[in-house]
Amino acid sequence: MSQANKPGTFAPLHHTVFRRMWFASLFSNLGLFIMGVGAAWDMTQMTNSATMVALVQTALMLPVALFSVASGALADMFDRRKVAIAALSLSIAGAAALTLAAHAGQIGPWQLLFWCFVVGSGTALLWPAWGASVNEQVPAEILPAAVALNGISYNVARSFGPAIGGVIVAAAGGVAAFAIAVIFYTPLLVVLNLWKRTSEPSRLPPETLGRAMISGYRYVSNAPPIRMVIVRTLIIGLTGGSVSALLPLIARDLLGGGAQLFGLLLGAFGIGSIVGALNVGRIRAKYSGEVCARLCSLGMGLSVVIIALSRTSIVTAIALLTFGAAWTACMMVFNVSVQLSAPRWAAARTLASYQAAVAAGIALAGWGWGAFANTQGVSLALLTSAATLVASPLLGRWFRVPVVGENASGAADALADPELLLALTARSGPIVLEIEYRIEPQKARLFYAVMQQVRSTRLRNGAYGWSIARDIADPELWTERYHCPTWHDYLRQRNRATQTERDLHMRAIEFHKGPEPVRIRRMLERPIGSVRWKDTTPDPGSKVTETLTSQIGGP
């Protein structure tokens, strides 16, 4: 698609479902930030401990780090709309309980952190289902714009929510902020209930939660582009999370302000974030992911230096605006890269891994920088954070952010099930695959290099124990071998390949020479002691005469 024909930033709003979701999520995000301001400021009134103040951020974000992978698995296993409704209901219940406890005067520092953790748990369950459902609301060609718009919604709320929250807290206290958060969550719950989501039914039953989580882990760990993005995301969160964690103390201790100033500073951060979100398309077009990460890290580092040394509200606000733009631009480039790279079957799990990295970095930053500030002071903590941000681009030598293709996630056509002459159940396994290739010796090195790429595709789609071997008595004969845990796991694995991966498999097969096609063996592994036949027990395989299909579509 040429630059002139690329859809505009606001094109996704022409789609009714996305437009409703976007405006409802804007209110939901406003409620989250209003509640966050109330909780953070109430904590400053309960204790002078910098650690406890910073732990408010940790309580809200730690559940995302802890539960995102499980949440992503649930979102891939079940109806994402229903998962999102359950998640939002949990957040509403937590915010309502916090409102009632605060109104009754039965709230202390640890109770406040607990209810923040409950709200954060709902957020952890919501985000993967919400993020992975965007591609169901808009066409693929405007998905980057839709992702950017969701980021804008979040950052518009970050801009105005804290300022509104500061006014509410100053006028009516934290209880009012908590109550308004409950009200602002409600429109999204209504819209989700009204959404008539259509989904393609799977011919296989869903994986168990444990197996789905393992599948997600295997995919991410064997997908180098996504793995590198997640590592860099975690590093940015750890090094740059000091600002949001210590912002209440920046307002109170460095600038001598109150709740309103705290809200205005958060608003400056949010306005900068909107600037970054609106320009993320231009950034993606002009710079590679690695260059963007480096420039943004340097911009954030210099901004934090100014924040640490400034004792003037306007200077601090300008620095926060710059920091917010750099932070959001960097994170959204990472987010779009992950969403465009992940296949549909693992979309929520992959996005959850990215969100877990963001949340883990911010949550650990909240605890670490808060503890540092408690003993060494807020300014020194910020200056140390700035130094780590400025130094973080050096990690690009080992964890370079790759160029990620926008068509990597396109699903390939489904393959027909292989023929069976042995009765198998869903849980029969392990299943062993052996594929034999005949390769001309002069092409062996090239074939081996391609098979190393094939290895990654097999492993990330559900296989394990992959190997490639060359026959010492027949050097032209190469055997690829791998396992799948069960028969249904194998059927999932063989149909999870994207079109890019399927093309790679065909490239490997093209090396095969001779009139006969590659030979594929599918075997049911029988470990010692797994079979306990009696003399009178018939072999069910001898009675099976029907097959599931008449064609083998590939390994």
Residue 439: the pLDDT is 95
Confidence of residue 354 (pLDDT cuts 50, 70, 90): confident
Low-confidence winner among 286-290, 386-390, 403-407 (lowest mean pLDDT): 403-407
Mean pLDDT throughout 365-386? 90
Residue 110: the pLDDT is 87
β-strand pairing of 519-524 with 477-484: unpaired
- Range 431-543 has CATH code 3.40.50.300: no
- Considering 18-22, 354-358, 402-406, 411-415, the range whose residues carry the highest mean pLDDT is 18-22
Element of type H or E holding 17: helix 16-46
Residue 543: the pLDDT is 43
Mean pLDDT throughout 342-368? 82
Residue 456: the pLDDT is 92
Mean pLDDT throughout 162-167? 74
Bridge partners, residue 498, by sequence: 411
Task: Look over the chain and give the mean of its residue pLDDT values, rounded to a whole number.
Answer: 82
Mean pLDDT throughout 492-519? 89
More confident residue, 116 or 480: 480
Asked whether 22 and 149 are in contact (CB, 8 A), the reply is yes
Mean pLDDT throughout 361-389? 89
How far is it, in rounded angstroms, from Cα 99 to Cα 278? 35
Q: What is the CATH number of domain 11-197+204-397?
A: 1.20.1250.20
Secondary structure class of 411 (helix, strand, coil): strand
| Distance (Å) of CA 145 to CA 187, 280, 401 | 23, 9, 21
Q: Tell me the domain boundaries of the chain.
A: 11-197+204-397, 431-543
Residue 404: the pLDDT is 60
Confidence of residue 542 (pLDDT cuts 50, 70, 90): very low
This prediction has a pTM of 0.72
pLDDT in tens, 397-454: 777 777 665 445 556 667 778 888 888 888 888 999 999 999 999 999 999 999 999 9
More confident residue, 360 or 1: 360
What whole-number percentage of the chain has pLDDT above 90?
25
Asked if the model's pLDDT at residue 484 lies above 50, the reply is yes
The DSSP result for 26-76, as a single string, is: HHHHHHHHHHHHHHHHHHHHH---HHHHHHHHHHHHHHHHHHHHHHHHHHH
Confidence of residue 2 (pLDDT cuts 50, 70, 90): very low
Mean pLDDT throughout 497-509? 90
Confidence of residue 165 (pLDDT cuts 50, 70, 90): confident
Helix-then-strand count for the chain, H and E? 18, 4
Those residues with Cβ within 8 angstroms of residue 119's Cβ, 6 or more apart along the chain or in another chain: 32, 35, 60, 91, 94, 95, 98
Structure token digits, residue 141: 């060609």
More confident residue, 347 or 493: 493
Residue 454: the pLDDT is 95
The torsion region of residue 529 among left (phi > 0), alpha (psi -120 to 50) and beta comes to: left
How far is it, in rounded angstroms, from Cα 168 to Cα 536? 80
pLDDT in tens, 65-94: 778 778 888 888 788 888 889 989 998 998
More confident residue, 554 or 445: 445
Confidence of residue 60 (pLDDT cuts 50, 70, 90): confident
Mean pLDDT throughout 324-339? 84
pLDDT in tens, 115-161: 889 988 888 888 788 777 887 788 867 777 787 787 778 767 766 77
How far is it, in rounded angstroms, from Cα 13 to Cα 310? 40
Mean pLDDT throughout 298-309? 94
| Distance (Å) of CA 456 to CA 309, 344, 554 | 48, 18, 17
Same fold, 11-197+204-397 and 431-543: no
Alpha helix ranges (H) inside 346-435:
347-376, 378-391
What whole-number percentage of the chain has pLDDT above 70?
89
pLDDT in tens, 221-272: 888 888 888 888 998 999 998 998 888 889 989 999 887 788 788 778 878 8
Asked if the model's pLDDT at residue 331 lies above 90, the reply is no
Confidence of residue 512 (pLDDT cuts 50, 70, 90): very high
Asked if the model's pLDDT at residue 481 lies above 90, the reply is yes
Residue 544: the pLDDT is 38
How large is the C-alpha radius of gyration of the chain? 27
Structure token digits, residue 120: 């954060």
- Considering 269-273, 318-322, 327-331, 337-341, the range whose residues carry the highest mean pLDDT is 318-322
Helix (H), strand (E), coil (C) string for 433-500 = EEEEEEECHHHHHHHHHHHHHHHHHHHHCCCEEEEEEECCCCCCEEEEEEEECCHHHHHHHHCCCEHH
Q: Which amino acid is at 97?
A: A
Secondary structure class of 552 (helix, strand, coil): coil
Residue 545: the pLDDT is 32
Residue 384: the pLDDT is 94
